[in-house]
Amino acid sequence: MKLKKKYNLPLDKFINLSLYDEKLGYYMKRNPFGKKGDFVTSPNISRLFSEIIAIWILSFWQSLGSPKKFNLIELGGGNGEMMKILIESLKNFPFFFKACNFIIHEKSSRLIDIQKKKLIKENIKWIYKVKELKKKPCIFIANEFFDSLAIKQFVKRRNLWFEKFVNFENQKKPFFFEKKIDIKKIEKKINFKISQNQNFIEYSQLSLDYLKDISKIIKENNGGLLLIDYGYTEKRMKNTLQAVSKHKFANIFRNIGNIDITHNINFSLFKKLIKNIGGLKNNLTTQRKFLLKMGIKQRAEIISKNKSFLKKADIYYRLERLINENQMGNLFKVMFIKDKKNKFKLGF
């Protein structure tokens, strides 16, 4: 990875290089999804997941007054599986389908190619920036999107704050080090007292930028954001930086550009950031509670009728992975962000 003699990188810039560098970035050159990849997401575990999201989208659209033209945007389209099932499901509702502009926001040209092959027969627009969206009501869906955005980390020692950096001078032996910083300058930049009651800070500037841009769109044009990701709700921030390779945790500095770097979302921080933006409300629950309230078990019963024992067992095995408290059920959270005037809360 060429760094043009800039050997000391803040953590977020190192992550961006590792994941999104045009030539060497992890997401720019490979398909990380599925058994042969490095991880599996809910839409690839069971189509039930995307079918439930489709029902939620339809219901939310109706709560907005069934607008005759609106945008449905998936943030980070993965391998295209979720959008494929959403479209298959929503085609059963012609009024909705005619009104909907299907859009994927994706940064990776490699993943866009994969998505286009899977969605070759569908009328979908790809955008690089959410600011490109035309002024219509917008429903955003973000499944495991925010965890892929680069983070900064800061630690407090003896009332002084230090930022985590990566030294890259010897590219075979990179290492972390810390630089003293003025936390007040950081807080002024983000317009938020992020250090309050914290000894450790982990946050994504990119996440904050997305939340601001999406919130502005929602407030100006109506709509909402359904955010599904793994994370925690404690107010105290913690170090959740991790790397994943072949479905196992890996060393962040080993095989850079060929492993995923990720983190757990601090939903308490997201709630504070949304409140700070103003004009919005949010609901938060676990993936288990959301899917059960939306009727995923009933849907599993319907599709498993007249199936062989093995196919039934497979359907329920996949369902269990999504809702089991010790698997994805509690680790994954579902957050709904909307205009404060909107009272819709299906699934919450």
Q: What was the pLDDT predicted at 38? A: 62
Q: What was the pLDDT predicted at 253? A: 85
Topology adopted by domain 8-339: Rossmann fold (3.40.50)
Please give the residue that has the higher pLDDT: either 2 or 54: 54
Give the start-end residues of each E strand in the chain: 8-10, 70-75, 100-105, 124-127, 138-143, 152-157, 160-167, 175-181, 200-203, 223-232, 242-245, 248-250, 260-262, 265-266, 280-286, 332-339
Q: Where are the domains of the chain?
A: 8-339
Q: What was the pLDDT predicted at 80? A: 94
Q: From residue 251, how far is each of 39, 153, 248, 262, 331 by CA, in Å?
A: 16, 18, 10, 12, 22
Say yes or no to pLDDT of 2 above 60.
no
Question: Inter-axis angle of helices 309-323 and 296-304, to 10 degrees?
Answer: 170
Q: What was the pLDDT predicted at 162? A: 97
**Cα dihedral across residues 144, 76, 101, 84: positive or negative:** negative
Quick one: CA torsion of 69, 140, 103, 331, rounded to 10 degrees? Answer: -150
Question: Using the 8-state DSSP alphabet, how is residue 172 labeled?
Answer: T
244-269 pLDDT tens trace: 887 788 888 887 878 889 999 999 99
Is 95 strand, coil or helix? Answer: helix
C-alpha 139/C-alpha 226 separation (Å) is: 8
* Cα first-last separation, the chain: 45
CB-CB contact of 205 with 221 (8 Å): no
Long-range contact pairs involving 294-303 (C-beta distance under 8 Å, separation at least 24): 294/52, 294/55, 294/56, 294/346, 294/347, 295/52, 295/55, 296/48, 296/49, 296/52, 296/322, 296/323, 299/48, 299/51, 299/52, 300/48, 303/48
CB-CB contact of 89 with 51 (8 Å): yes
Q: What was the pLDDT predicted at 172? A: 79
Q: What was the pLDDT predicted at 29? A: 75
271-282 pLDDT tens trace: 999 999 999 999
For residue 259, give the nearest of 272, 246, 277 by alpha carbon: 246
C-alpha 42/C-alpha 118 separation (Å) is: 17
Q: What was the pLDDT predicted at 35? A: 65
Say yes or no to pLDDT of 81 above 90.
yes
For residue 203, give the nearest of 146, 260, 156 by alpha carbon: 146
Tokens of 261: 């770097």
Q: What percent of the chain has pLDDT over 90?
A: 77
Q: What was the pLDDT predicted at 37? A: 61
Q: How many other CB atoms sit within 10 Å of the CB of residue 114?
A: 19
Is 136 strand, coil or helix? Answer: coil
Q: Please provide the average confidence, as pLDDT, over all residues in the chain.
A: 92
Q: What was the pLDDT predicted at 240? A: 97
163-213 pLDDT tens trace: 999 997 777 788 999 999 999 999 999 999 999 999 999 999 999 999 999
C-alpha 348/C-alpha 344 separation (Å) is: 9
